[in-house]
Chain A
């Protein structure tokens, strides 16, 4: 099947710093990618839809100025958590659809903000 990668897999940063997470589709092109956040023992929560060539669409309650999304090419979307705080510590996952029925997910990025 298709492969989606994320980098880094794990990051620890100090409060107030910014962290960039990359999501790449390795063997297919993705005009749309999704970014999710998952807190411990909870389900995935959609944060935003990343669109190549246009602005991202954010879900209600997600601050677009805090979670910057850039869909730079058909194989790369980045999520930057700006001025990170401990409450932003979470598991961040991206996905990309390969058809109307199937999506492939990245392995996730564990963010810990001290």
Chain B
């Protein structure tokens, strides 16, 4: 699975959009991009995934560049409860459901 690079930390004001970048320049054509988050002392939570089209659900939007070498997770109206570590993971679909976790981005939402 391709490696991802994320900034170690970011701040965002409450109510504003939080844009979390992820670089996956070695991604291959059959690898999906997944985003999970982990609130302190809790298990991770699935947010969204995509292959090449932009995706949106009730939690967030995922924007994938045309060359698929990077993506951005957007939390449209960040709240204090969105403070967490956000993980961008790239994975090939298959019988193996394993996820390889990087260091993630610590997002702090400030009032």
Contact = CB atoms under 8 A, between A and B. Distances in A.
B101 A105 contact: no
B98 A105 contact: no
Interface in B32-67: 32, 34, 38, 41-46, 49
Contact of A110 (B41, B87, B97): B41
Contacts of B100: 46
- Interface residue tally on B, bucketed by range: 20 to 34
A41 to B, nearest CB: 10
B80 interface: no
Given A93-B44, A105-B44, A107-B42, A44 B32 contact: no
Interface residues of B: mostly helix, strand, loop or mixed? loop
B97 A105 contact: no
Contacts, number: 49
* Size class of the A contact interface (CB-based, 8 Å): 20 to 34
Contacts of B49: 101-102
B98 A34 contact: yes
Contacts of B32: 101
Contact of A105 (B45, B102, B104): B45
Contact of B34 (A6, A43, A45, A101): A101
B69 to A, nearest CB: 21
A9 B16 CA distance: 34
A80 to B, nearest CB: 20
A7 to B, nearest CB: 13
A78 interface: no
B13 interface: no
